[in-house]
Chain A
Amino acid sequence: MMLRSLPILLALTSAGLAQDGGQLYTTYCSACHGADGKGATGGQFPPLAESPWVQGDPDRAIKIVLHGLNGPVEVAGRTYNLEMPPQGAAIADDQLAAILTYVRASWNNASPAVTPAMIKAAREATAGRDKPWTAPEILKLHPLPAAAPPIANLISRIYPGEWQDLPDFSKLKPINVEEEHDGLISVSHADRKELVGLVWEGQITAPKAGKFTFRLDADDCARVIVAGKKVAEVRGIGPLNGSRAKQGQIQLSAGSHPIRIEYVEFRGQEAIALAMKGPGIPGWRNLSDSPVPAEKPSLMIRPTPDRAVIYRNFIAGTTARAIGFGFPGGVNLAYSADNLAPELLWTGDFMDGGRHWVDRGQGNQPPAGERQVKLSGARALAEGARFRGYKLDPAGNPTFSVQLGEQFLLDAWKPAGSGATPALTRTLTVNGQGSPVELLVCEKLALKKTGDQDYELGDELRLQAENAAFETRDGKTYLKLSPGKPATLTYRWK
């Protein structure tokens, strides 16, 4: 009863302020956070409704509004990677106070009003700050209020053993049993980091009757059982990065229900993440100490069986002006238009667009496949050489063009093998009259001659070179190319 009447009281108080917080919220905030506080465009932006970020200690929200927030932030079980612009220099104290008072008393939020004096004090306390906060920075100053343990009466059991899948734990004896008072499942409490199984048991609460969704991800495998029914399962060995996450649903009555989580770590990294959502729970409720990776779809970019595909965005391991080509048969190339050189070759999957095609797309995305080879990372041609673009043949295979004064260097690529015997063929031609052109072919990779035209290139590749004479100095290997005398290099994975 007390809790229910609180928002109404607060609403009455805020009505007495000179500034109209609701109106100001609509003007300055609602485009992103939504008129209903749930985050614009179906929750693509962080919700404020029932968010602990805006409730409790007012300084957390005040300081974020004053200076902005940059980078990944977890709200209601989802990670957002956006940039909230600072408002401190643009909006006056009384208006900011009115906006925050409105936010803290709307949409089931029930926290006390914010006064202009609080804004002023926070301004003074952070006067030296000239850049947005990151989530860890602000949480260090103003932690989120401790929530009630999401899993009541949580108990963990540890089972040492070597498994690559989930064993029948009912036939095994734990070496240790612990109570977990924070109610969060966590691998960090176990006394070992590999060759281990863990089982947790406790009770979760369904605030209302209805269908509940559980989202589970693990490194390596895990299973969640709610009210005696298996709801989601991640099998086999692999990383926790969202790519293997599984979801399942179950109908629950309002009230408490038993939950059991089984988990196995083989070797290497270890982690588990579990969250639930459903009636009465805003967003996702974390049941583990690490959040479930955002439901960021894997947007794998694939060639068609008869045509290469292009990806032009920031590719990790090469330069900003890289152009990726994924050829049919699982051979791939990233050409740097900065360094005028093919810098990365790899096999298998081409590129995942999930990073750059979701939210604002910050950062460099590594190639998706395997057996990556970095041929070089320096400029391949003399100063003055200019990238002039590329031409595609009917199969989408590129010929990159570089201008060197009156000459053009044409660098043509096509697949020369696929599947178990992946290979790429490169034909280099200098057009026009003039002196030979020297270009960098590889660096920091051992080039060992094994036959007339055959070489080993590092650990991964064999190189077949026709009409090509190499010269190695200072760890860099160059090819001298005379006008009108093309050279052909075939890169074949061992």
Chain B
Amino acid sequence: MRHLLPSSLLCGLILSAAQAQQQSDFYTREEIPLPKGEIMELGSIALMPDKKIAVTSRRGDLWICSGAYGDDLSKVTWQKFAEGLHEPFGMFWKDGWLYLTQRPEHSRLKDSDGDGRADLFETVNSGWGINGDYHEYAFGSEPDKNGDVWIVLCLTGSGGAASDWRGWCVRVTPKGEMIPTCSGIRSPGGIGANHAGDMFYTDNQGLWNGSSSLKWLKPGSFQGNPTGNKYHKLANLPAPPQPADKSRIETERARFPEFVPPAVVFPHGKVGQSPTGIAYDSGNGKFGPWTHQLYVGEQTHSQVQRVALEKVNGLYQGAVFHFLEGFEAGLVPVRLDHEAGILFAGGTNRGWASRGTKPFTFERVRWTGKTPFEIHTMSALKDGFELTFTEPVDPATAGKPESYSMAAWTYILQSGYGSPEVDPATPKITAASVSPDGKKVRLTVDGLVKGHVHHLAAKGVTSKAGGKLWHPDAWYTLNEIPR
């Protein structure tokens, strides 16, 4: 009798342990061995033919890896292809060339004599300025459908624009022309397209950027930070907006139609502190059921977040969810091999610290074939949100408004660094109706606030099988309410 109480407690513990979802059940994260003795602070990853992968280091080396797709990663081999590059952030392979965005230029290189090392280093375009400030990074995309490469140009330091086109996004055409495309950029951490070919970048919390966010590079748009505005004169473009200090994005974009609000705000500290590389899911199911969603790297927290976007009234918006974590260093580049269903991620924490404690890393993540119980998508309705789930929910829990909670807030748009969460609101979930197949829940919400981040916590929702959500939180940026 004495043992009854403790052992029943033990049973309870075992039961809940069995129910708790773990990353390793769904995704296998593995370190890819790096060349011995080399400092591989990764800035770019490019997928090449024959399952080879090229990576660049912040020190300016370019290595090619064989075996990164194999079952036995101890068989990975490396070949040094080039050195003396200027801190590249962005690389892709096309027609026998490796294209890369270096700090001072967009370039391409190739091994023309077949000795295994690059010997041709062509400058495609170098139309932007640099002056030696460490902050003047350049992040380049893969080519869009026209073959253009999109490059986001970080400001000089935190708050200056001392060199031409700092704070802008430019496109470089295959012919080597540079087309200034968007203004208002602060401090990018990565750039990438979604499945539809629209370009996005991540911008870090700081001046005129209340919280880090994922932003849509709509051509002609202004992204919120006016520091580099003056460069419009170099190309005879109209002056970008000068937003009022200590205002709100919602207020300023009413004044300036070209001000495109962040598609998805990643609330500072809660979702991450420094978002970076972007990869989209092609929808082929090789990396899980996250059709057309984005995977976004996170440097400080050593994570990958998941973003579900939708277009409402002509603007992108959507929700960010926590997804993968535990990477060994701060992630910067991420690349998804759609066919193989492998996410490659590289990282460094030199100069900016990270939860992952190694100075640099190269890793891959594969789907185990098992899908976690998660909120699959969150989309805006005229009077609430619709959630889809990865497996049928238990109508008893998911149909109860008390299983959910919601809070909303926004940020100050200001010349100061970042912003607290302000203008708090508590939208009330008045009804939760579950679809007959149990995969959808329609939340009726009283008090949606246009322009606010809406934080949904679905802590009480269980699956039909009785499981809890792996990640019960979603942060939805409600730029537009569907008409």
Contact = CB atoms under 8 A, between A and B. Distances in A.
Interface of A: 27-28, 31-32, 40-42, 44-45, 68, 82-83, 85-92, 130-132, 309-314, 320-321, 323-324, 337, 353, 357-364, 386-394
A321 B105 contact: yes
Interface string B381-411: 0000000000000000000000000000000
A298 to B, nearest CB: 15
B418 A82 contact: no
B355 A31 contact: yes
B276 to A, nearest CB: 14
Contacts of A314: 132
Q: Which of B120, B134, B300 is most buried by chain A, counting CB atoms within 10 A of its CB?
A: B134
A337 B123 contact: yes
Nearest 9 pairs of A and B residues by beta carbon = A310-B84, A89-B416, A90-B418, A360-B351, A40-B353, A32-B353, A389-B122, A27-B269, A312-B86
A486 B239 CA distance: 48
A353 B121 contact: no
Given A83-B158, A89-B414, A311 B205 contact: no
Contacts of B158: 83, 85, 132
B420 interface: yes
Nearest to A312: B86
Q: Give the size category of B's interface with A.
A: 35 or more
Given A88-B417, A392-B121, A320 B132 contact: yes
B39 interface: yes
A396 to B, nearest CB: 9
Contacts of A389: 107, 120-123
Contact of B417 (A40, A85, A358, A388): A85
B113 to A, nearest CB: 7
A363 B132 CA distance: 6
Contacts of B420: 89-92
Interface string B140-165: 00000000000000000011000000
Contacts of B122: 388-389
B59 A357 contact: yes
B114 to A, nearest CB: 11
Contacts, number: 132
A45 B353 contact: yes
Nearest to A92: B420
Contacts of A131: 159
A185 B117 CA distance: 53
Given A85-B206, A310-B83, A313-B60, 7 more contacts: A89-B417, A90-B416, A312-B102, A313-B86, A321-B105, A361-B351, A394-B113
A363 B131 CA distance: 10
B354 interface: yes
B121 A387 contact: no
Interface in B317-365: 349-355, 357, 359
Nearest to B330: A31
A391 B121 contact: yes
A92 B420 CA distance: 7
Interface string B431-472: 000000000000000000000000000000000000000000
Nearest to A315: B132
B296 interface: no
B119 interface: yes
Contacts of B270: 27
Contacts of A311: 60, 84
Given A31-B353, A310-B83, A86 B417 contact: yes
A89 B209 CA distance: 11
Contacts of B210: 90
A111 to B, nearest CB: 24
Given A41-B357, A359-B351, A90 B417 contact: yes
A387 B269 contact: no
A301 B270 CA distance: 42
B227 interface: no
Nearest to B107: A389
Given A31-B301, A41-B357, A320 B104 contact: yes
16 contacts: A28-B269, A40-B353, A40-B357, A45-B353, A89-B412, A309-B83, A312-B85, A313-B60, A320-B131, A321-B104, A321-B105, A321-B130, A361-B351, A363-B134, A364-B132, A389-B107
B126 interface: yes
Nearest to A33: B353
A390 B354 contact: no
A432 to B, nearest CB: 17
Nearest to B159: A131
A269 B252 CA distance: 57
A388 B122 CA distance: 6
Interface in B151-209: 158-159, 205-206
A324 B86 CA distance: 11
Contacts of B292: none
A111 B481 CA distance: 50
B223 interface: no
SS of A interface (majority): loop
Q: Which of A311, A312, A388 is most buried by chain B, counting CB atoms within 10 A of its CB?
A: A312
B480 interface: no
A312 B357 CA distance: 28
B109 to A, nearest CB: 8
A386 B60 CA distance: 23
Contacts of A324: 84
Contacts of B59: 353, 357
B354 A31 contact: yes
B87 interface: yes
Contact of B84 (A40, A309, A358): A309
Contacts of A388: 122-123
B416 to A, nearest CB: 3
Contacts of A88: 416-417
B79 to A, nearest CB: 15
Contact of A337 (B104, B159, B273, B417): B104
B418 A41 contact: no
A394 B83 CA distance: 14
Contact of A391 (B120, B351, B357): B120
Contacts of A90: 205, 210, 268, 416-420
B60 A312 contact: yes
A312 B84 contact: yes
A360 B134 contact: yes
B30 interface: no
B134 A40 contact: no
Q: Which of B132, B159, B420 is most buried by chain A, counting CB atoms within 10 A of its CB?
A: B132
A87 B353 contact: no
Contacts of A392: 117-119, 121
A408 B289 CA distance: 53
B133 interface: yes
B16 to A, nearest CB: 24
Contacts of A68: 417
Given A86-B416, A321-B126, A392-B119, A313 B87 contact: yes
Nearest to B112: A391
B115 interface: yes
B318 to A, nearest CB: 24
A274 B364 CA distance: 46
A202 to B, nearest CB: 38
Q: Which of A89, A311, A390 is most buried by chain B, counting CB atoms within 10 A of its CB?
A: A89
Contacts of B87: 313
Interface string B255-293: 000000000000011100100000000000000000000
A41 B359 contact: yes
A82 B351 contact: yes
Contacts of B351: 82, 359-361
Interface string B23-39: 00000000000000001
A440 to B, nearest CB: 20
B274 to A, nearest CB: 9
A27 B416 CA distance: 20
B84 A323 contact: yes
Contacts of A312: 60, 84-86, 102
Interface in B92-142: 102, 104-105, 107, 113, 115, 117-123, 126, 130-135
